[in-house]
């Protein structure tokens, strides 16, 4: 929140030649820090006390870390290599310790001389680098370091006091350099304008913003850090909730056509056809939706439910209610495979009720059309005509629905499947197709804890389906440590064979496709020992499928499915798999959402540590969809003590998606909650922890709603208005687009 001119000063103009142009450039390109205000709001991730050490045992893989530790020993080795054939290559291995764990540092070539002189046993220093695994041990290759000497005149002492702030850093700019830059601009913190209304700040006993900024960067005590964090958390929670409250307020002013189902219409006929009873949850959520549809301003509801909890059924009943009331309903799916599948299952569930205008169609029937980018011109023309005339009551499609050419007769409801794949803009574009704003129902199978729903989906009301329909089978999940116990992997393939022999099918999921062009520049280079120390690339669908067909699964029908295949080929593969003609489908995560093959009972996820917790849970939900029990095997080569293995252990230990989403959030950095990790945008949450700070978020939501109700334009709160503009400026607009 770059609030005032002094704080808006660009870092690129050397401030009284404070930051050199090179540092300013790295800050802009790698950390997204453009102004003095940005830099002041780049808070320490944690603090090191001089007498205490980092937990080396808990280091995350593949991340840039900063640790404070002591050198236990240092050894210089010589070796022969392509560059130094006479055994003149040099490698310095330094072991550092913090009392709880040990970590190896490696320096090569000419880079060994300085650390060999400086990193003597007993020396304490800050080390920064990327954590990798080599020979199954954690290591940092070529870390940057800053020695910590006990001498009170030493530079670290002058800028750190007793608590050393450790900043989120990059390979190009270490934490201690960022700390020095912040110390330089810290005096301007006095000019920060406070976005919190005085009554709120005083009522909640929060320190003023300038004081909070000083205390977070130069704390003298732990109490200083606490004061600063509580204050800065409130800023983040409150400004964000004001943005969402204003969006809700604006939406509530929009007019909408109330849609009440006809008493003996399509919905009644559909319910009469159902071969089962809806669960209590489905009935409760349907009532909430029908109440919203009956009002004269647009419904904005998020429907979240576990994989297989029957969300599609609830959405379909809402669509039928709108068609009953004379409107049309559109369902937007993130991929063609999923749109085709939704279309098939809706038509199957509706039977003759989906045959409007056709011979044999029921009296109340409507037409259900599919609209995707890869359709032939004739089929597309036909579908567009059915939509424009109102002949089709229900349309299911991909982004193709948003195009200008698509006209509706009377769009009454938009259902968005898998919300995290659609931005607010896309929702708005589709909503703009109605004569008046249509009602909106957003569905997600990713379980979202309440506070995340309040932050990420704060402009939507939430309904939760937490019961699974009868007849669903449990899924057993196990971690397969391929490196520690190779025979476990052989047994995994035997289990897949057993499932196939029992008449079932299996998925094998890989992180990569495998037809990526090799970069000739990269492959031409000889691998240096440093490169060798990097991890191997993730396993690929095409390689694994070939290996399985010739090896452990020889004789079974194995097919591949991935995102770069032609849509018709994808559909053909899915149809063969659904029909039981293919035994094993080796796929990327294209199967993550919505693919429904009840006969598939086993799933083997290769390199499972490369996937997030929620994604693993989603993938696992593809098996055990019929009456036979499901089996999910998580294959990994990560060492037993690694955080990745603990994460996989958590997934294997519970099927409760809400529990897993909490674990996921606690393990990932907060900003990623908002989808930022994927979009590459800067995260707007720096100190607010969505899980721990549930209370602050709930209170901020109440305060924000009250402020917006009494002053929607924030006329009397100019500083809040400025903070809001900063949150919503173009660069950060993506934040509210939910990734």
Q: What distance in Å separates the CA atoms of residue 143 and residue 128, rounded to the nearest whole number?
A: 5
CA torsion 562→563→569→573, rounded to 10°?
A: 40
Residue that is written with structure tokens 């009284």 in the block: 16
> Which tokens is 507 given?
């998925």
Buried b (16+ CB within 10 A) or exposed e, 555-565: ebbbbbbbeeb
Residue that is written with structure tokens 């803009």 in the block: 425
Q: What distance in Å separates the CA atoms of residue 379 and residue 382, rounded to the nearest whole number?
A: 5
Q: What is the mean pLDDT of each run of 10 residues along the chain (739 residues)?
A: 57 60 83 84 80 63 76 87 68 86 86 90 85 82 80 42 74 81 87 89 93 92 92 90 88 89 90 88 94 92 80 93 94 86 89 76 84 89 93 91 86 82 66 84 77 72 76 83 89 94 94 65 43 60 91 93 84 89 90 74 93 85 83 90 85 81 63 37 60 83 93 90 74 40
Residue that is written with structure tokens 């240096």 in the block: 528
Sign of CA dihedral 671, 672, 677, 679: negative
pLDDT tens digit sequence for 296-322: 999 989 898 876 678 889 999 999 999
Nearest CA among 645, 597, 644 for reference residue 621: 597
pLDDT of residue 515: 67
Q: What distance in Å separates the CA atoms of residue 1 and residue 192, rounded to the nearest whole number?
A: 10
Residue that is written with structure tokens 């020992």 in the block: 529
Q: What is the CA radius of gyration of the chain?
A: 29
Greatest Cα pair distance in the chain: 92
Q: What distance in Å separates the CA atoms of residue 143 and residue 65, rounded to the nearest whole number?
A: 10
pTM: 0.63
Q: What angle do CA 116, 69, 46 make, to 5 degrees?
A: 135
Residue 198 CA: distances (Å) to CA of 2, 238, 258, 275, 280: 19, 13, 41, 60, 47
The count of C-alpha atoms lying within 13 angstroms of the C-alpha of 673, restricted to the half-sphere facing its C-beta, is 29
**632: enclosing H helix or E strand:** strand 630-636
Q: What distance in Å separates the CA atoms of residue 324 and residue 174, rounded to the nearest whole number?
A: 62
Q: What distance in Å separates the CA atoms of residue 22 and residue 177, rounded to the nearest whole number?
A: 12
pLDDT of residue 145: 87
pLDDT of residue 423: 61
Burial of 80 (0-12, 13-18, 19+ CB in 10 A): exposed
pLDDT of residue 618: 81
Residue that is written with structure tokens 């209370």 in the block: 695
Residues with Cβ within 8 Å of residue 194, at least 6 apart in sequence: 201, 208, 209, 719
pLDDT of residue 550: 93
pLDDT of residue 679: 32
pLDDT tens digit sequence for 543-564: 999 999 999 999 999 999 988 8
Sign of CA dihedral 293, 294, 300, 304: negative
Nearest CA among 470, 441, 465 for reference residue 282: 465
> Quick check: helix, strand or coil at residue 331?
strand
Q: What distance in Å separates the CA atoms of residue 594 and residue 618, rounded to the nearest whole number?
A: 9
> Which tokens is 714 given?
């924030």
Residue that is written with structure tokens 């036979």 in the block: 628
Nearest CA among 46, 62, 57, 156 for reference residue 103: 57
Alpha-carbon 322 to chain mean position: 33
> Which tokens is 320 given?
């039928």
Q: What distance in Å separates the CA atoms of residue 738 and residue 726, rounded to the nearest whole number?
A: 17
> Quick check: helix, strand or coil at residue 319?
helix
Q: What distance in Å separates the CA atoms of residue 294 and residue 204, rounded to the nearest whole number?
A: 40
pLDDT of residue 526: 44
- The answer to whether residues 350 and 270 touch, using CB atoms and an 8 Å cutoff, is yes
> Which tokens is 689 given?
């922890």
Residue 495 CA: distances (Å) to CA of 492, 503, 543, 561, 617: 5, 13, 21, 22, 21
**629: enclosing H helix or E strand:** none
SS (H, E, C) 518-534: CCHHHHHCCCCHHHHHC
Residue that is written with structure tokens 């979009």 in the block: 679
Nearest CA among 246, 241, 238 for reference residue 204: 238
- Beta bridge partners, 71, equal 96
Crossing angle for the helix pair 311-324 and 336-350, to the nearest 10 degrees: 70
């Amino acid at each position: 929140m770059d609030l005032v001119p002094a704080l808006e000063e660009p870092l690129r103009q050397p401030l009284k030649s404070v930051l050199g142009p090179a540092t300013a450039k790295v800050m802009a390109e790698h950390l997204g820090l453009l102004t003095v205000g940005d830099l002041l709001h780049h808070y320490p991730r944690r603090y090191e006390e001089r007498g205490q050490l980092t937990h080396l045992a808990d280091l995350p893989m593949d991340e840039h870390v900063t640790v404070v530790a002591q050198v236990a020993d240092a050894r210089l080795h010589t070796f022969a290599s392509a560059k130094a054939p006479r055994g003149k290559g040099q490698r310095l291995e330094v072991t550092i310790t913090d009392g709880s764990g040990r970590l190896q540092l490696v320096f090569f070539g000419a880079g060994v001389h300085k650390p060999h002189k400086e990193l003597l046993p007993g020396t304490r220093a800050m080390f920064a680098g990327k954590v990798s695994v080599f020979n199954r041990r954690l290591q940092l290759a070529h870390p940057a370091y800053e020695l910590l000497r006990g001498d009170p005149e030493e530079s670290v002492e002058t800028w750190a006091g007793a608590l050393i702030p450790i900043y989120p850093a990059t390979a190009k700019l270490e934490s201690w350099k960022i700390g020095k830059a912040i110390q330089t601009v810290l005096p301007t913190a006095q000019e920060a304008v406070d976005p919190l209304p005085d009554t709120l700040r005083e009522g909640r006993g929060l320190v003023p913003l300038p004081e909070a900024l000083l205390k977070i960067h130069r704390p003298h005590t732990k109490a200083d850090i606490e004061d600063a964090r509580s204050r800065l958390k409130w800023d983040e929670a409150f400004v964000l909730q004001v943005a969402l409250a204003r969006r809700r307020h604006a939406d509530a002013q929009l007019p909408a056509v109330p849609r009440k189902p006809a008493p003996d219409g399509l919905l009644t006929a559909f319910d009469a056809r159902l071969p089962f009873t809806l669960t209590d949850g489905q009935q409760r959520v349907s009532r909430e939706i029908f109440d919203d549809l009956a009002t004269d301003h647009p419904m904005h509801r998020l429907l979240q439910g576990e994989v297989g909890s029957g969300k599609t059924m609830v959405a379909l009943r809402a669509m039928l209610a709108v068609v009953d009331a004379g409107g049309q309903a559109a369902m937007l799916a993130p991929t063609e495979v999923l749109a085709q599948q939704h279309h098939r299952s809706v038509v199957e569930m509706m039977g003759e009720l989906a045959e409007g205008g056709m011979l044999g169609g029921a009296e109340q029937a409507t037409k259900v059309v599919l609209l995707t980018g890869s359709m032939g011109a004739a089929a597309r023309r036909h579908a567009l005509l059915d939509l424009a005339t109102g002949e089709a009551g229900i349309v299911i499609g991909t982004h193709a629905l948003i195009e200008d050419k698509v006209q509706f007769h009377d769009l009454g409801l938009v259902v968005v499947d898998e919300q995290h794949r659609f931005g607010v803009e896309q929702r708005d574009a589709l909503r703009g197709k109605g004569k008046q704003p249509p009602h909106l129902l957003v569905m997600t199978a990713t379980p979202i804890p309440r506070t995340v729903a309040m932050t990420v989906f704060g402009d939507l009301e939430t309904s939760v389906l937490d019961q699974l329909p009868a007849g669903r089978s449990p899924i057993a999940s196990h971690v397969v440590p391929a490196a520690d116990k190779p025979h476990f992997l052989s047994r995994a393939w035997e289990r897949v064979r057993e499932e196939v022999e029992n008449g079932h099918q299996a998925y094998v999921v890989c992180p990569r496709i495998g037809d990526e062009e090799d970069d000739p520049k990269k492959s031409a280079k000889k691998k240096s020992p440093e490169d060798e120390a990097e991890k191997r690339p993730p396993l690929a669908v095409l390689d694994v499928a070939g290996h399985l067909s010739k090896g452990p699964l020889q004789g079974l029908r194995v097919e591949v499915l991935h995102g770069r295949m032609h849509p018709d080929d994808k559909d053909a593969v899915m149809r063969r798999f659904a029909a039981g003609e293919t035994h094993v489908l080796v796929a990327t995560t294209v199967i993550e959402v919505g693919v429904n093959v009840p006969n598939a009972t086993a799933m083997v996820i290769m390199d499972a540590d490369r996937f997030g917790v929620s994604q693993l849970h989603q993938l696992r939900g593809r098996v055990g969809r019929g009456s036979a029990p499901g089996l999910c095997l998580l294959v990994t080569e990560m060492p037993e003590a690694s955080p990745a293995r603990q994460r996989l252990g958590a997934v294997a230990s519970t099927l409760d998606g809400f529990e897993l989403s909490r674990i996921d959030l606690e393990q990932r950095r907060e900003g990623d909650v908002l989808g930022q990790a994927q979009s590459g945008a800067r995260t707007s949450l720096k100190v607010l922890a969505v899980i721990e700070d549930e209370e602050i978020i709930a209170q901020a939501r109440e305060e924000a709603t009250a402020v917006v109700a009494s002053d929607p334009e924030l006329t009397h709160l100019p500083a809040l208005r400025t903070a809001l503009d900063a949150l919503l400026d173009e660069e950060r607009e993506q934040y509210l687009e939910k990734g």
